[in-house]
A and B are shown apart, each in its own frame.
Chain A
Amino acid sequence: AQKVTQAQTEISVVEKEDVTLDCVYETRDTTYYLFWYKQPPSGELVFLIRRNSFDEQNEISGRYSWNFQKSTSSFNFTITASQVVDSAVYFCALRGGTSYGKLTFGQGTILTVHP
């Protein structure tokens, strides 16, 4: 069985603060894929990043960065210098190599950035 845990239910920060969203996953698959999605109040899930289990290189994209650590089954997401527009629900998701289309999502973390 696959499982994704986002222990932080809600995070509140002030604009320009850095914030890290935690994600821990469980899977028996040796090949798997990890994703982060953003869900603004409009409801649409916006794809942010995908990581393959065989690629532990971390990535920075503008104000976003991701830290994938296979040894601790974690895939954390950091926003640097947060902005009000970053306010949304963020979901971490997992797809096993044998489960094709099925994405297993965490419960989500509500991020509120105050001006």
Chain B
Amino acid sequence: ETGVTQSPTHLIKTRGQQVTLRCSSQSGHNTVSWYQQALGQGPQFIFQYYREEENGRGNFPPRFSGLQFPNYSSELNVNALELDDSALYLCASSEGLAGRYEQFFGPGTRLTVL
């Protein structure tokens, strides 16, 4: 069984640029969540996708957007990058929406904005 994978591992961008991060969910999982983890902090929920629809969003501006594809993989897009967007971006997949399902995390993408 393949776990959650993310690409790229590391990324360096400059302010104002746009970035796309990718996530492949674990086999059998139809739900993907994205989190932002700033240095020394706990992860913060960005949004969740269930069967290609956004289902729940945290306190992040609209320049953070996403997609989920029919194979349940997902993308996180961030426009107009700001210095504060520098963080580890974590993707998690689960079997469904219900709270009882564990979320399994990928290794993350480390984004640095200069």
Contacts and interface: CB of A to CB of B under 8 A. Distances in A.
Interface of A: 4, 31-33, 35, 37, 42-47, 50, 52, 91, 93, 95-97, 99-108
Chain B interface size, under 10 / 10 to 19 / 20 to 34 / 35 or more: 20 to 34
Nearest 3 pairs between A and B by C-beta? A105-B42, A101-B48, A45-B105
Contacts of A4: 42
A103 B110 contact: no
Interface of B: 31, 33, 35, 41-45, 48, 50, 55-56, 58, 88, 90, 92, 94, 97-100, 102-108, 110
B contact face: mostly helix, strand, loop, or mixed: strand
22 contacts: A33-B99, A37-B105, A44-B107, A44-B108, A45-B105, A50-B102, A52-B100, A96-B99, A100-B55, A100-B56, A100-B98, A101-B31, A101-B33, A101-B45, A101-B48, A101-B94, A101-B103, A102-B56, A102-B58, A103-B45, A107-B41, A108-B42
B104 A47 contact: yes
A70 B8 CA distance: 41
A111 B103 CA distance: 23
B105 A35 contact: no
B61 to A, nearest CB: 17
A103 B43 contact: yes
B28 to A, nearest CB: 16
A107 B37 CA distance: 10
A69 to B, nearest CB: 20
Given A103-B33, A107-B42, A47 B102 contact: yes
Given A45-B43, A45-B90, A101-B55, 16 more contacts: A33-B99, A33-B100, A43-B88, A43-B107, A44-B106, A45-B92, A45-B105, A47-B103, A93-B42, A100-B55, A100-B56, A100-B98, A101-B33, A101-B50, A102-B33, A102-B45
Contacts of B103: 47, 101, 103
A91 B94 CA distance: 18
A76 B97 CA distance: 26
Contacts of B44: 105
